Protein backbone atom coordinates (compact mmCIF):
# COMPACT_ATOMS: atom_id res chain seq x y z
CA UNK A 1 0.00 0.00 0.00
CA UNK A 2 1.17 3.54 -0.72
CA UNK A 3 0.51 6.04 2.08
CA UNK A 4 0.76 9.83 1.82
CA UNK A 5 1.53 11.52 5.15
CA UNK A 6 0.39 15.13 4.87
CA UNK A 7 2.31 17.10 7.47
CA UNK A 8 5.92 16.70 8.54
CA UNK A 9 5.80 17.63 12.20
CA UNK A 10 6.96 15.21 14.87
CA UNK A 11 3.91 12.96 14.75
CA UNK A 12 3.62 12.87 10.96
CA UNK A 13 7.31 12.02 10.72
CA UNK A 14 7.04 9.28 13.35
CA UNK A 15 4.12 7.68 11.51
CA UNK A 16 6.02 7.90 8.23
CA UNK A 17 8.96 6.06 9.80
CA UNK A 18 6.69 3.41 11.30
CA UNK A 19 4.60 2.79 8.19
CA UNK A 20 7.66 2.83 5.91
CA UNK A 21 8.73 -0.48 7.47
CA UNK A 22 5.84 -2.19 5.68
CA UNK A 23 4.50 0.23 3.08
CA UNK A 24 5.57 2.74 0.46
CA UNK A 25 5.34 6.19 2.11
CA UNK A 26 5.50 9.80 0.91
CA UNK A 27 6.00 12.51 3.54
CA UNK A 28 4.71 15.93 2.49
CA UNK A 29 5.52 19.31 4.00
CA UNK A 30 4.02 22.61 2.87
CA UNK A 31 7.44 24.31 3.05
CA UNK A 32 9.89 23.62 0.18
CA UNK A 33 12.84 24.64 2.38
CA UNK A 34 11.80 22.09 5.00
CA UNK A 35 11.56 19.38 2.34
CA UNK A 36 15.01 20.30 1.02
CA UNK A 37 16.49 20.20 4.53
CA UNK A 38 14.98 16.80 5.26
CA UNK A 39 16.21 15.37 1.98
CA UNK A 40 19.69 16.73 2.58
CA UNK A 41 19.94 15.42 6.15
CA UNK A 42 17.68 12.37 5.59
CA UNK A 43 16.00 13.13 8.88
CA UNK A 44 13.63 15.76 10.30
CA UNK A 45 16.15 17.80 12.27
CA UNK A 46 13.55 20.49 13.03
CA UNK A 47 10.77 18.45 14.60
CA UNK A 48 12.08 14.92 15.22
CA UNK A 49 15.89 14.87 15.17
CA UNK A 50 17.93 11.74 15.59
CA UNK A 51 15.82 9.35 13.51
CA UNK A 52 17.32 8.68 10.04
CA UNK A 53 14.97 8.22 7.10
CA UNK A 54 15.06 4.94 5.20
CA UNK A 55 15.95 5.25 1.54
CA UNK A 56 12.44 4.17 0.61
CA UNK A 57 10.83 7.20 2.31
CA UNK A 58 10.00 9.91 -0.22
CA UNK A 59 9.96 13.52 1.01
CA UNK A 60 8.66 16.53 -0.87
CA UNK A 61 6.61 19.74 -0.92
CA UNK A 62 4.47 18.96 -3.99
CA UNK A 63 1.00 18.14 -2.63
CA UNK A 64 -0.41 16.69 -5.84
CA UNK A 65 2.64 14.49 -6.36
CA UNK A 66 2.40 13.20 -2.78
CA UNK A 67 -1.20 12.03 -3.15
CA UNK A 68 -1.19 11.07 -6.84
CA UNK A 69 -0.47 7.36 -6.33
CA UNK A 70 -1.63 7.03 -2.73
CA UNK A 71 -4.03 4.36 -1.55
CA UNK A 72 -4.50 6.16 1.77
CA UNK A 73 -3.69 9.64 3.07
CA UNK A 74 -2.99 10.62 6.67
CA UNK A 75 -3.47 14.30 7.53
CA UNK A 76 -0.88 14.98 10.22
CA UNK A 77 -1.28 18.73 10.66
CA UNK A 78 -2.42 20.39 13.90
CA UNK A 79 -6.16 20.91 13.96
CA UNK A 80 -5.61 24.50 12.79
CA UNK A 81 -4.43 23.09 9.45
CA UNK A 82 -7.01 20.31 9.09
CA UNK A 83 -9.62 22.34 7.20
CA UNK A 84 -7.19 23.46 4.48
CA UNK A 85 -5.56 20.04 4.14
CA UNK A 86 -8.91 18.25 3.84
CA UNK A 87 -10.11 20.76 1.25
CA UNK A 88 -6.92 20.33 -0.82
CA UNK A 89 -7.23 16.57 -0.61
CA UNK A 90 -10.89 16.67 -1.68
CA UNK A 91 -9.89 18.75 -4.68
CA UNK A 92 -6.91 16.64 -5.72
CA UNK A 93 -8.19 13.13 -4.90
CA UNK A 94 -11.89 13.24 -3.93
CA UNK A 95 -12.19 9.44 -3.72
CA UNK A 96 -9.03 8.84 -1.68
CA UNK A 97 -9.70 7.45 1.83
CA UNK A 98 -7.91 9.33 4.58
CA UNK A 99 -7.31 9.62 8.30
CA UNK A 100 -6.48 12.57 10.55
CA UNK A 101 -4.32 12.44 13.66
CA UNK A 102 -4.89 15.92 15.15
CA UNK A 103 -6.50 16.21 18.57
CA UNK A 104 -8.60 19.15 19.69
CA UNK A 105 -11.49 21.40 18.75
CA UNK A 106 -11.10 23.95 15.98
CA UNK A 107 -10.45 27.44 17.37
CA UNK A 108 -13.32 29.81 16.69
CA UNK A 109 -15.85 27.16 15.65
CA UNK A 110 -15.51 24.59 18.43
CA UNK A 111 -15.90 21.82 15.86
CA UNK A 112 -14.49 18.35 16.35
CA UNK A 113 -12.15 17.17 13.56
CA UNK A 114 -14.78 15.06 11.77
CA UNK A 115 -17.08 18.09 11.71
CA UNK A 116 -14.31 20.22 10.20
CA UNK A 117 -13.77 17.58 7.53
CA UNK A 118 -17.49 17.36 6.76
CA UNK A 119 -17.61 21.14 6.23
CA UNK A 120 -15.13 21.04 3.34
CA UNK A 121 -15.31 17.50 1.94
CA UNK A 122 -17.70 14.61 1.57
CA UNK A 123 -15.45 11.57 1.94
CA UNK A 124 -17.01 8.14 1.93
CA UNK A 125 -14.14 6.56 3.88
CA UNK A 126 -12.34 8.57 6.53
CA UNK A 127 -11.61 8.53 10.23
CA UNK A 128 -9.37 9.43 13.15
CA UNK A 129 -6.21 7.80 14.45
CA UNK A 130 -5.80 8.57 18.13
CA UNK A 131 -4.52 7.19 21.41
CA UNK A 132 -1.57 7.23 23.84
CA UNK A 133 1.39 7.81 21.55
CA UNK A 134 4.45 10.01 21.90
CA UNK A 135 6.08 10.59 18.53
CA UNK A 136 9.62 9.91 19.73
CA UNK A 137 8.66 6.50 21.12
CA UNK A 138 6.90 5.48 17.90
CA UNK A 139 9.96 6.62 15.94
CA UNK A 140 12.14 4.48 18.24
CA UNK A 141 9.94 1.52 17.34
CA UNK A 142 8.77 1.04 20.91
CA UNK A 143 5.49 -0.88 21.43
CA UNK A 144 2.46 1.40 21.05
CA UNK A 145 -1.29 0.80 20.76
CA UNK A 146 -3.77 3.31 19.31
CA UNK A 147 -7.35 3.46 18.06
CA UNK A 148 -8.59 3.98 14.51
CA UNK A 149 -12.15 5.28 14.61
CA UNK A 150 -14.62 5.84 11.81
CA UNK A 151 -18.38 6.09 11.55
CA UNK A 152 -18.10 3.35 8.93
CA UNK A 153 -17.10 0.40 11.11
CA UNK A 154 -16.09 -1.72 8.12
CA UNK A 155 -13.65 0.96 6.94
CA UNK A 156 -12.22 1.27 10.45
CA UNK A 157 -11.57 -2.47 10.61
CA UNK A 158 -10.07 -2.64 7.12
CA UNK A 159 -7.77 0.36 7.68
CA UNK A 160 -6.71 -0.88 11.13
CA UNK A 161 -5.76 -4.27 9.71
CA UNK A 162 -3.82 -2.70 6.85
CA UNK A 163 -1.82 -0.36 9.13
CA UNK A 164 -1.36 -2.69 12.09
CA UNK A 165 2.24 -3.71 12.68
CA UNK A 166 4.42 -5.62 15.12
CA UNK A 167 5.27 -2.45 17.09
CA UNK A 168 2.25 -0.25 16.33
CA UNK A 169 -0.92 -2.09 17.27
CA UNK A 170 -4.12 -0.53 15.96
CA UNK A 171 -7.62 -1.23 17.27
CA UNK A 172 -10.78 -0.42 15.28
CA UNK A 173 -13.64 1.58 16.79
CA UNK A 174 -16.86 3.02 15.37
CA UNK A 175 -17.40 5.68 18.07
CA UNK A 176 -15.75 8.54 16.20
CA UNK A 177 -17.12 11.24 18.50
CA UNK A 178 -15.91 9.48 21.63
CA UNK A 179 -12.42 8.90 20.27
CA UNK A 180 -12.10 12.53 19.19
CA UNK A 181 -13.43 13.92 22.48
CA UNK A 182 -11.05 11.75 24.49
CA UNK A 183 -8.08 12.89 22.43
CA UNK A 184 -9.08 16.54 22.69
CA UNK A 185 -10.09 17.08 26.31
CA UNK A 186 -7.27 15.02 27.85
CA UNK A 187 -4.93 17.84 26.78
CA UNK A 188 -6.86 20.26 28.99
CA UNK A 189 -6.67 17.88 31.95
CA UNK A 190 -2.94 17.44 31.28
CA UNK A 191 -2.42 21.20 31.70
CA UNK A 192 -4.22 20.99 35.04
CA UNK A 193 -2.13 17.99 36.09
CA UNK A 194 1.06 19.80 35.14
CA UNK A 195 0.01 22.70 37.36
CA UNK A 196 -0.72 20.26 40.17
CA UNK A 197 2.68 18.58 39.87
CA UNK A 198 4.46 21.91 39.43
CA UNK A 199 3.04 23.08 42.74
CA UNK A 200 4.27 19.90 44.42
CA UNK A 201 0.80 18.84 45.58
CA UNK A 202 1.60 15.15 45.57
CA UNK A 203 0.45 11.92 43.98
CA UNK A 204 -2.88 11.86 45.82
CA UNK A 205 -3.83 15.15 44.23
CA UNK A 206 -2.68 14.01 40.80
CA UNK A 207 -4.76 10.83 41.02
CA UNK A 208 -7.84 12.77 42.13
CA UNK A 209 -7.42 15.34 39.38
CA UNK A 210 -7.03 12.73 36.63
CA UNK A 211 -10.02 10.75 37.89
CA UNK A 212 -12.29 13.77 38.07
CA UNK A 213 -10.91 14.91 34.75
CA UNK A 214 -11.98 11.61 33.20
CA UNK A 215 -15.46 12.22 34.62
CA UNK A 216 -15.54 15.61 32.88
CA UNK A 217 -14.38 14.10 29.59
CA UNK A 218 -17.06 11.42 29.79
CA UNK A 219 -19.88 13.85 30.62
CA UNK A 220 -18.90 16.09 27.75
CA UNK A 221 -18.53 13.24 25.27
CA UNK A 222 -21.83 11.61 26.15
CA UNK A 223 -23.60 14.95 25.75
CA UNK A 224 -22.17 15.13 22.21
CA UNK A 225 -23.35 11.61 21.37
CA UNK A 226 -20.40 9.42 22.36
CA UNK A 227 -20.59 6.12 24.20
CA UNK A 228 -19.40 6.23 27.81
CA UNK A 229 -17.41 2.99 27.47
CA UNK A 230 -15.17 4.54 24.83
CA UNK A 231 -13.54 6.68 27.51
CA UNK A 232 -12.31 3.55 29.30
CA UNK A 233 -10.24 2.65 26.23
CA UNK A 234 -7.00 3.73 24.61
CA UNK A 235 -8.28 7.04 23.26
CA UNK A 236 -9.81 7.95 26.63
CA UNK A 237 -8.19 6.65 29.80
CA UNK A 238 -5.06 5.48 27.98
CA UNK A 239 -4.32 8.83 26.37
CA UNK A 240 -5.22 10.65 29.59
CA UNK A 241 -2.71 8.63 31.64
CA UNK A 242 0.09 9.17 29.14
CA UNK A 243 -0.47 12.88 28.63
CA UNK A 244 -0.91 13.68 32.33
CA UNK A 245 2.13 11.75 33.53
CA UNK A 246 4.62 11.56 30.65
CA UNK A 247 7.45 14.06 30.57
CA UNK A 248 7.24 14.24 26.76
CA UNK A 249 3.74 15.75 27.00
CA UNK A 250 3.73 19.37 25.80
CA UNK A 251 0.49 20.14 27.65
CA UNK A 252 1.84 18.75 30.92
CA UNK A 253 5.04 20.78 30.48
CA UNK A 254 2.95 23.88 29.83
CA UNK A 255 1.13 23.29 33.12
CA UNK A 256 4.42 22.84 34.98
CA UNK A 257 5.64 26.17 33.60
CA UNK A 258 2.38 27.93 34.55
CA UNK A 259 2.83 26.65 38.10
CA UNK A 260 6.26 28.27 38.12
CA UNK A 261 4.63 31.61 37.31
CA UNK A 262 5.95 31.97 33.78
CA UNK A 263 3.86 33.90 31.21
CA UNK A 264 1.91 31.86 28.68
CA UNK A 265 3.36 33.46 25.50
CA UNK A 266 6.90 32.72 26.67
CA UNK A 267 5.99 29.12 27.51
CA UNK A 268 4.42 28.54 24.11
CA UNK A 269 7.42 30.04 22.32
CA UNK A 270 9.88 27.88 24.23
CA UNK A 271 7.90 24.68 23.64
CA UNK A 272 8.48 25.08 19.91
CA UNK A 273 5.50 22.82 19.14
CA UNK A 274 1.75 23.32 19.38
CA UNK A 275 0.21 22.59 22.79
CA UNK A 276 -3.34 21.91 21.61
CA UNK A 277 -4.82 22.14 25.10
CA UNK A 278 -4.55 25.94 25.17
CA UNK A 279 -7.09 26.56 22.39
CA UNK A 280 -9.06 23.41 23.13
CA UNK A 281 -9.76 24.46 26.73
CA UNK A 282 -11.69 27.55 25.67
CA UNK A 283 -13.61 25.77 22.91
CA UNK A 284 -14.56 22.90 25.22
CA UNK A 285 -15.68 25.35 27.91
CA UNK A 286 -17.89 27.19 25.42
CA UNK A 287 -19.51 24.04 24.06
CA UNK A 288 -19.95 22.65 27.57
CA UNK A 289 -21.81 25.79 28.67
CA UNK A 290 -24.09 25.56 25.65
CA UNK A 291 -24.80 21.91 26.44
CA UNK A 292 -25.30 22.53 30.14
CA UNK A 293 -22.40 20.22 31.04
CA UNK A 294 -20.50 21.03 34.23
CA UNK A 295 -16.72 21.02 33.69
CA UNK A 296 -15.07 22.77 36.66
CA UNK A 297 -11.51 21.65 35.90
CA UNK A 298 -11.73 22.87 32.32
CA UNK A 299 -13.24 26.20 33.39
CA UNK A 300 -10.49 26.66 35.97
CA UNK A 301 -7.76 25.91 33.41
CA UNK A 302 -9.29 28.57 31.14
CA UNK A 303 -9.09 31.16 33.92
CA UNK A 304 -5.44 30.34 34.59
CA UNK A 305 -4.60 30.54 30.88
CA UNK A 306 -6.37 33.91 30.63
CA UNK A 307 -4.52 35.27 33.66
CA UNK A 308 -7.69 35.63 35.75
CA UNK A 309 -6.52 33.10 38.32
CA UNK A 310 -3.14 32.05 39.69
CA UNK A 311 -2.05 28.40 39.76
CA UNK A 312 -2.40 28.34 43.55
CA UNK A 313 -5.79 30.03 43.30
CA UNK A 314 -6.94 27.34 40.89
CA UNK A 315 -6.25 24.63 43.44
CA UNK A 316 -8.04 26.55 46.17
CA UNK A 317 -11.10 27.04 43.97
CA UNK A 318 -11.39 23.36 43.07
CA UNK A 319 -10.85 22.15 46.63
CA UNK A 320 -13.49 24.53 48.03
CA UNK A 321 -16.26 23.23 45.77
CA UNK A 322 -19.24 21.78 47.62
CA UNK A 323 -19.02 18.01 48.23
CA UNK A 324 -21.07 15.90 45.82
CA UNK A 325 -21.85 12.28 45.02
CA UNK A 326 -19.19 10.72 42.83
- CATH of residue 289: 1.10.1040.10
Question: Rounded to a whole number, what is the distance in angstroms from the first to the last CA of the chain?
Answer: 48
- Is residue 82 in a domain? yes
- In the three-class reduction of DSSP (H, G, I as helix; E, B as strand; rest coil), residue 321 is classed as coil
- The pLDDT assigned to 51 comes to 98
Last residue of a domain, one of 174, 201, 219: 174
Q: Is 324 a known active-site residue?
A: no
Beta strands 168-173; 58-60: pairing state: unpaired
- The pLDDT assigned to 275 comes to 77
Do 11 and 135 meet the contact criterion of CB atoms below 8 Å apart?
yes
Rounded to two decimals, the pTM is: 0.95
- 159 and 221, same domain (yes or no): no
- The pLDDT assigned to 252 comes to 96
- 98 and 149, same domain (yes or no): yes
Do 20 and 57 meet the contact criterion of CB atoms below 8 Å apart?
yes
Q: What is the pLDDT along the chain (326 residues), one digit of tens a residue?
A: 999 999 999 999 999 999 999 999 999 999 999 999 999 999 999 999 999 999 999 999 999 999 999 999 999 999 999 999 999 999 999 999 999 999 999 999 999 999 999 999 877 799 999 999 999 999 999 999 999 999 999 999 999 999 999 999 999 999 999 999 999 999 999 999 999 999 999 999 999 999 999 999 999 999 999 999 999 999 999 999 999 999 999 999 999 999 999 999 999 888 877 778 899 999 999 999 999 999 999 999 999 999 999 999 998 898 888 888 88
- The pLDDT assigned to 122 comes to 78
How many folded domains does the chain comprise? 2
Range of the domain at 153: 2-174
DSSP code at position 49: T
- Is residue 326 in a domain? no
- 113 and 28, same domain (yes or no): yes
Contacts of 144 (CB under 8 A, 6+ apart): 131, 132, 133, 137, 138, 167, 168, 169
* Nearest by Cα to 243 from 190, 193, 283: 190
- The pLDDT assigned to 320 comes to 85
From the list 83, 186, 279, 282, the catalytic residue is: 186
Amino acid sequence: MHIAILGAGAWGTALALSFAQRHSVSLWTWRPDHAAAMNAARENTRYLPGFPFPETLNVGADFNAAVACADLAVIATPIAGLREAAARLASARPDLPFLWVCKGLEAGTGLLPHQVVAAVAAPARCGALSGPSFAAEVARNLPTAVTLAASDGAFAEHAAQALNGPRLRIYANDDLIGVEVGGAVKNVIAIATGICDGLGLGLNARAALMTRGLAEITRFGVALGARAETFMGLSGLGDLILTCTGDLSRNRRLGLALAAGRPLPQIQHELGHVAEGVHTAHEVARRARALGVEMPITATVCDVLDGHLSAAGAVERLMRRDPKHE
